[in-house]
Amino acid sequence: LENVAVPLELAGRRDAFDRAARELAAVGLSDRADHYPGQLSGGEQQRVALARAVAGNPQILLADEPTGNLDQATGAQIISLMFALRERSGATLMLITHDPALAGLCDRVVHLRDGKIDRITPGAATGKPDVIAQPRAQTGTGN
């Protein structure tokens, strides 16, 4: 519970512990709220991280290889939960992965090559044409 509540407290939220309890319930961990991180499985730790990430109502969720250290079944649960939380919160989800199947679940896929944007394609999750047809031209200003 504290793992999710402390960032909210630091941000001045008076309802930090109530909000943390709600987010842990949303990821199915109400019964594990009083456990330390070392007492949780990898999948449970990922769910706590998701609860902490959405508790402050961010506009953007960043997830770097969210299933990298998980078995396939647990990874699938985490991804399902992540997309459900994104829908509920209305946040933009930026997902970094080397898994083409996972990338295909997204609305848009940005392909990198040698550290630069190679191409942007629509994901399988949408039949809409991509709104960004080509990456921006480099201006030499670092963007």
**117-141 residue pLDDT tens:** 999 998 876 544 343 333 334 444 4
Q: Binning pLDDT at 50, 70 and 90, where does residue 11 land?
A: very high
d(CA 17, CA 19): 5
Percent of the chain topping pLDDT 90: 47
Does the predicted TM-score (pTM) go above 0.95?
no
- Continuous segment of H or E residues that includes residue 117: strand 116-122
Q: How far apart are CA 50 and CA 3, in angstroms?
A: 11
- pLDDT score for 81: 86
> Could you tell me which CATH class the domain 2-106 is placed in?
alpha beta
Looking at every residue in the chain, the average pLDDT score rounds to: 84
Query: Is the separation of the CB atoms in 59 and 8 below 8 Å?
Result: no
pLDDT at 7: 92
**What is the arithmetic mean of pLDDT over 106-115?**
93
Region 44-67 average pLDDT: 90
Average pLDDT over residues 19-39: 92
Alpha carbon dihedral 29, 32, 34, 38, in 10-degree steps, equals -110
Q: Where exactly are the structural domains of the chain?
A: 2-106
